[in-house]
Structure 1
Amino acid sequence: MRPLSLQFLIFVVTLSLLTNCKDKGFLETHWDHPLQVQNEINQNPSQSIQNFDPKECGTCHSNQWNKWKNSFHAKSIGNGFLWQKEILSRKEWDNCLNCHSPLPETKAILSETYQTREVLVSQKNHFPNGINNPSIQCASCHIRKDMVYGPPSRYGSLRNQDQYLNSLPHNGFKVQNEFTTSEFCKSCHESPSSGVSINGKRLMETYMEWGNSSFAKQGIQCQNCHMPDREHSWKGIHDEDFVRKAIETDWKIERTKSGELYVRAEFKSIAIGHKFPTYLIPKVYLRFYGIDVNGKRILMEESIIGRLLNTQLTEEYYDTRIEPKASHLVEFSYPIRNRNIQKVLWEIEVDPDEHYVRSFEESQNAKGSLLSQSTKEQIKLSLSEKKESRYTLFTLSLPVPVSLPQ
């Protein structure tokens, strides 16, 4: 019996190991950084997909390409990112590239680490015309080891689906439901558990914020809002119309017996599946102005929505972000005295890149003398881009009510 028991034990252990390997999730391997090169050195290039240039993909997927080329995915390697190479260690820089330029073939443009023979051969095979924009590309999400992956058909099941998929260009594609789930986005939009944590919160917890929301319970995924109809634009905090549709405002003004103005304003998140704003970069300013008979603006109150950290990412000053379906409430009284205020303006300004501006300016001041001229120029261009991203979301107006009878 003992030999039989030992054989059975070996069988169970082996089966367990095989099962664990087999059950390793698609996303776990799909986003296993650093990603593998697309083809082996000795592979016949004629047997692989030749051109990974997004423009080439656009010959058939024109809608996706046109949306992508104006998206932040296509701009992931910009001046604000590139200038930091001079102040980061190679390990830190390579870690940043995992999300900003996932493919080894595009990373090789930006990091010496990936300029190996294996990667350069694959780069030559798949980008025969070179790489002008080593950003987050079509292949970054959709191709691994020359196999194309994508979401299931939007139009229901297809007859002879396997035959249909195999008859498509580039030998068809492999259907993965994960492309339609929020978890697909987690790899780049959620700080690792081992990352920096301040006041019990990591720097980026978008996936967890969504997971704790009613949106997750209802099955509403990131893609439902940020990729409607599967468009590849990934709109967010930088898009005015996108944000306007996701929030709601309500406010009132009363005049007290003592002659003061009482203002109560509610800024509500109605269609945002995570904290607003998520991450620590953007800030939203709620400013209230009294307008006198001469049209002069008098600042009465200011409230800020966001998470403010120092640029060293070691201290948090406040976190006033709004939970999904919750509100940011502003209440205050303002003494009018002899000021002839006719109306009150509520102005809502969004600064999508506040933390970047503050951080880049501090780096420029502290390290400017140590940076190369080209890096200084990149910081200058980036700061200009970031400052220009500010916009006014709403400007609301209410008349000042007449004095209450004594």
Structure 2
Amino acid sequence: MIMFVSCLDSNFLDSHWKHPIAEQGLPPANFSNLEKNLNPNACGSCHKDQFQNWKKSFHAKSANKGFLWQKEILSSEEYRSCFQCHSPLAETKSVLSDTYQTEEILNSKAHNFTEGISNPSIICASCHIRNQIRFGPPPRTNLIHEDQSNNLPHNGYVVKQEFESSEFCKSCHESKETGVKLAGKRLMEVYSEWEKSPFAKQGIQCQNCHMPNREHSWKGIHDKTFVQNSLLPTWTITENKGIYHIQAELKSISVGHAFPTYVVPKINLRFYAVIKNKSTPILLEESVIGRIVNTNLTEEYLDTRIQPQKSHLVRFDFEPKKNTIKEFLWKIEVDPDEQYIRSFEEQLREKGDKLSIPTKKLLQESLSEKKNSRYMLFTLSLKVPVSLPQ
């Protein structure tokens, strides 16, 4: 593999993520049909692991039902503004909007996507190809070979260390300074949150956690195991004269930004008492971790997110009427799409009758998917009489 090695280039990311990204143009004449094909399936012919992980990732679903149905309620300008992150390439944008069906873009699409584009989301070329040149991270080893025969697949690639830098992710995961601000904060500040964290000082990048071993899955809040490994719940219950004192802590141990980041996910903490001879536990206390804003994105009500390596604390007392407590339960539930659920329900209620039948169906299906994304993260229990801290 031929490589053009570079150090960090301050201008690379500015040019690489300069929007709108230009069409790829005609493939080099010496490329085979496979090399000319920018469909992810073609990339998967050689990059099998990356392709299989990408297929299951949210990058591959960035232009899914929850995105597509909104075309009918947004202005053309608002809808197109979403393409910058949800469908970065000029060729994929042409599938979503007539605005991008120019002669140049359609010609590029015909030559680079000969079978058409079935998924106009974030694809391999969105990050790795500009003007028919392939870019990627440094090789896993220090061995660099130069093949002077020029017979390398897609003419080799250009090495850029930025592919292993958090700054590479900033373009889509950090709202612009000119964007909406609530309580002095932008809607997305994940890069800034990371930049202020101990992880940034230790040189731990986004890719270290979300792309371990260069895995193209970008796991996050929707992945139960990933989240479980990032948090530590502990609690103690003591009893004094019939009054139970509950103290619980949920600590962020390996999240390099506010948890959860963005305004969308919420974490629900609920404490129950299991009563003898009763099948249904009694809810004692509940709280929410997250950034709670209205559906119009004009007002923030609460921000209880956990900062990196900090904790969310809950303390309360409970005095049962009788000594009938069998055990206490602490359930931690993740609602990854809470903001979307509220917003989609409101849109369906207020505009459902005005939407076209196909769009309304997309909205209903997306709402159902969002509701089904909830999962129980932890369930902890302490028997009564309470003994040692758990």
SS of residue in 2 equivalent to 1:88: coil
SS of residue in 2 equivalent to 1:74: helix
Answer whether contact 2:237 2:386 (CA < 8 A) is retained.
Answer: no
Measured in 2, the distance between the counterparts of 1:243 and 1:135 equals 25
Measured in 1, the distance between the counterparts of 2:263 and 2:46 equals 38
Measured in 1, the distance between the counterparts of 2:313 and 2:70 equals 38
Q: Offset of 1:354 from its aligned partner?
A: 0.3
Measured in 2, the distance between the counterparts of 1:157 and 1:275 equals 38
Q: Offset of 1:338 from its aligned partner?
A: 2.1
1:325 and 2:309 are equivalent in the alignment: yes
Measured in 1, the distance between the counterparts of 2:214 and 2:43 equals 16
2:264 aligned partner: 281
Measured in 1, the distance between the counterparts of 2:309 and 2:60 equals 31
Give 2:339's match in structure 1, choosing from 355, 376, 388: 355
SS of residue in 2 equivalent to 1:398: strand
Answer whether contact 1:198 1:315 (CA < 8 A) is retained.
Answer: yes
Give 2:18's match in structure 1, choosing from 26, 32, 35: 32
Q: Offset of 1:322 from its aligned partner?
A: 0.3
Structure 1 residues without counterparts, runs of 5 or longer: 1-22
1:54 and 2:54 are equivalent in the alignment: no
Q: 1:176 to 1:204 in 2, by over 3 A?
A: same
Q: Offset of 1:157 from its aligned partner?
A: 3.9
Answer whether contact 1:292 1:339 (CA < 8 A) is retained.
Answer: no
1:364 aligned partner: 348
1:271 and 2:257 are equivalent in the alignment: no
Answer whether contact 1:45 1:125 (CA < 8 A) is retained.
Answer: no
Q: 1:166 to 1:228 in 2, by over 3 A?
A: farther
Q: 1:133 to 1:249 in 2, by over 3 A?
A: same
1:114 aligned partner: 100
Q: Offset of 1:91 from its aligned partner?
A: 1.1
Equivalent residues in 2 for 1:97-176, closer than 5 Å: 97-158=83-144, 161-163=145-147, 167-176=151-160
Answer whether contact 1:181 1:223 (CA < 8 A) is retained.
Answer: yes
Give the TM-score taking structure 1 as reference length.
0.90
Q: 1:296 to 1:31 in 2, by over 3 A?
A: same
Equivalent residues in 2 for 1:214-363, closer than 5 Å: 214-257=198-241, 259-294=242-277, 295-338=279-322, 340-363=324-347
2:4 aligned partner: none
Answer whether contact 2:245 2:317 (CA < 8 A) is retained.
Answer: yes
SS of residue in 2 equivalent to 1:28: helix
Q: Offset of 1:164 from its aligned partner?
A: 7.8
Write the letter of the residue equivalent to 1:115.
Q
1:81 and 2:67 are equivalent in the alignment: yes
Measured in 1, the distance between the counterparts of 2:164 and 2:92 equals 25
Out of 201-210 and 48-57, give the one that drifted further.
48-57
Measured in 2, the distance between the counterparts of 1:281 and 1:105 equals 29
1:16 aligned partner: none
Structure showing greater radius of gyration is 1
Q: Offset of 1:200 from its aligned partner?
A: 0.7
Runs of 4+ in structure 1 over 3 Å off: 43-49, 161-167
Structure 2 residues without counterparts, runs of 5 or longer: 1-8
Q: Offset of 1:367 from its aligned partner?
A: 1.3
The one of the two structures with greater contact order (alpha-carbon pairs below 8 A, sep at least 6) is 2
SS of residue in 1 equivalent to 2:139: coil
Give 1:68's match in structure 2, choosing from 54, 60, 69: 54
Measured in 2, the distance between the counterparts of 1:162 and 1:233 equals 31
How big is each residue's C-alpha offset from its partner over 1:314-365, in whole Å with a ceiling of 9 and x where there is no partner? 1111000000000000000012112611110000000000000000010111
Answer whether contact 1:253 1:401 (CA < 8 A) is retained.
Answer: no
2:361 aligned partner: 377
SS of residue in 1 equivalent to 2:233: strand
SS of residue in 1 equivalent to 2:59: coil
1:10 aligned partner: none
RMSD over aligned CA atoms reads 1.7
Give the TM-score taking structure 2 as reference length.
0.93
2:377 aligned partner: 393
Measured in 2, the distance between the counterparts of 1:262 and 1:330 equals 11
Q: 1:163 to 1:44 in 2, by over 3 A?
A: closer
Measured in 2, the distance between the counterparts of 1:204 and 1:66 equals 28
How big is each residue's C-alpha offset from its partner over 1:220-244, in whole Å with a ceiling of 9 and x where there is no partner? 0000000000010000000000000
Q: Offset of 1:311 from its aligned partner?
A: 0.2
Q: 1:45 to 1:104 in 2, by over 3 A?
A: farther
1:182 aligned partner: 166
1:211 aligned partner: 195
Out of 334-343 and 197-206, give the one that drifted further.
334-343
Answer whether contact 1:165 1:172 (CA < 8 A) is retained.
Answer: no
Q: Offset of 1:77 from its aligned partner?
A: 1.0
Q: Offset of 1:45 from its aligned partner?
A: 5.5
1:13 aligned partner: none
How many residue pairs end up in the alignment?
Answer: 376
Q: 1:179 to 1:254 in 2, by over 3 A?
A: same
